[in-house]
Amino acid sequence: MMIPKDYDSNSVTMTANNLLLLMANDLAEYIDKEMTRKQGVQWLATLKETNYAYRDFNLKDPAALLKDLARNGSSQIRQALNSRIERGFLKNYYDDINVLLGERNVWIHRQVQETTAELLDLVTTIVRVATPLGLGLLAECTAVKDSILKPLEDTISEVIMVPIPQPEAEKIAEIPAKIEEVPEVSPTPDIQISLSEIVEISANDSFEVGDAVTDRLLSHSYVLHLNGEIRNRATDEVLTEANPQSAEKLGALLIVRKPSGGRLRITEEGYLCAFFGDKWGYLATVNASEWFPDHLTNSTTKTEKGR
């Protein structure tokens, strides 16, 4: 894989798509090798003959592969991975694969900000999935990371005691050396939100929950925890600390609409999105005054429903 020397929007997109393709290829090869070791070289043909759900399954189709691993609790190919993942990490691991499926979607449809910060965030997600399996593309991930960070480090080393401001969109996520559990967030004590309050908040909706959102997504990304807490992935800051006035009601609404929690993204208009099936879909609308400081610039007037 060619590693760019300089990154513009096109080279960022090409690099992201190449990494996603390599990830899918390496993962498919790993699964094929493990399943062959366990069941013999005809394992896939046998699976297609004996299990109707896999009749048309294509191991080399990235979307089909990731979807089966992430969302099929009775997946027949998870057994190739489970022995390499500690039992206590299995849920987190398959959640990471689901996140990777969602990230693949936004890159393919070019809904993402084509910046090096977004590329590094994708690399981080890939590394979390690839590291426990020792996949070959980890070398490419390291090369991409170094090609982006090394010039910055060299520049910084030449400037003594002069801070270099970094715009929010270019904040760089660190790549973990190994897969780790998502930091625990203490349950929000006694969240009190009535049905009437949920109805009141819902009246501001711009779309139906789950409707496809095709707008460009901002570089910020978040995690919705099962207790309704919302965490900024870049800083680990939670909304109850950043904006306690709106955090509890908003978190309660979001977890009602997306009980499984997971990755959230947001558009410039303040449309919060979650990954539904094969698309990023509408979850709620928020204003700058209700959200993390400096993440939005939209006004305090909600977008009219149906726009």
Residues 61 and 31: their CA atoms lie apart, in Å, by 13
Q: Give residue 6's pLDDT band: very low, low, confident or very high (50, 70, 90).
A: confident
Identify whether the C-beta of residue 293 lies closer than 8 Å to the C-beta of residue 243. Answer: yes
Question: Nearest 5 degrees, angle CA 94-CA 96-CA 99?
Answer: 115
Interacting residues of 97 by C-beta distance below 8 A, sequence separation 6+: 66, 69, 70, 129
Q: In 243-287, which residue ranges form alpha helices assigned H by DSSP?
A: 244-257
- Per residue in 74-105, is it b (16+ CB within 10 Å) or e — as a string? ebbbbebbeeebeeeeeeebbbbbbbbbbbbb
Q: Give residue 170's pLDDT band: very low, low, confident or very high (50, 70, 90).
A: very low
Residue-level pLDDT at 194: 58
Given a cut of 70, is residue 30 above it in pLDDT?
Answer: yes
Residues 33 and 133: their CA atoms lie apart, in Å, by 12
Residues written for the chain: 307
Given a cut of 70, is residue 196 above it in pLDDT?
Answer: no
Residue-level pLDDT at 15: 95
Identify whether the C-beta of residue 93 lies closer than 8 Å to the C-beta of residue 80. Answer: no
Residue-level pLDDT at 279: 86
Question: How do strand 230-232 and strand 262-267 relate by DSSP bridges?
Answer: unpaired
For residues 25-40, average pLDDT: 96
Q: What percent of the chain has pLDDT over 90?
A: 53
Residue-level pLDDT at 183: 42
Residues 260 and 267: their CA atoms lie apart, in Å, by 21
Residues 302 and 299: their CA atoms lie apart, in Å, by 8
For residues 26-35, average pLDDT: 97
Strands (E), 85-154: none
pTM of the predicted structure, to 2 decimals:
0.70
Q: Which residue has the higher pLDDT, 247 or 28?
A: 28
Q: Is 82 helix (H, G, I), strand (E, B) or coil?
A: helix
Residues 140 and 144: their CA atoms lie apart, in Å, by 6
Given a cut of 80, is residue 201 above it in pLDDT?
Answer: no
Identify whether the C-beta of residue 272 lies closer than 8 Å to the C-beta of residue 264. Answer: yes
Tell me the per-residue pLDDT of 55-91, one tens digit each, with 9 for 90 and over: 999 999 999 999 999 989 899 999 999 989 988 889 8
Q: Give residue 186's pLDDT band: very low, low, confident or very high (50, 70, 90).
A: very low
Q: Quote the mean pLDDT of the chain.
A: 83
Amino acid 286 reads V
Residues 273 and 276: their CA atoms lie apart, in Å, by 9
Torsional class of 110: left (φ above 0), alpha (ψ -120 to 50), beta (otherwise): left
Residues 274 and 209: their CA atoms lie apart, in Å, by 10
Q: Pick from 271, 270, 269, 292: which is nearest to 280 by CA? A: 271
Q: Give residue 219's pLDDT band: very low, low, confident or very high (50, 70, 90).
A: confident
Amino acid 287 reads N
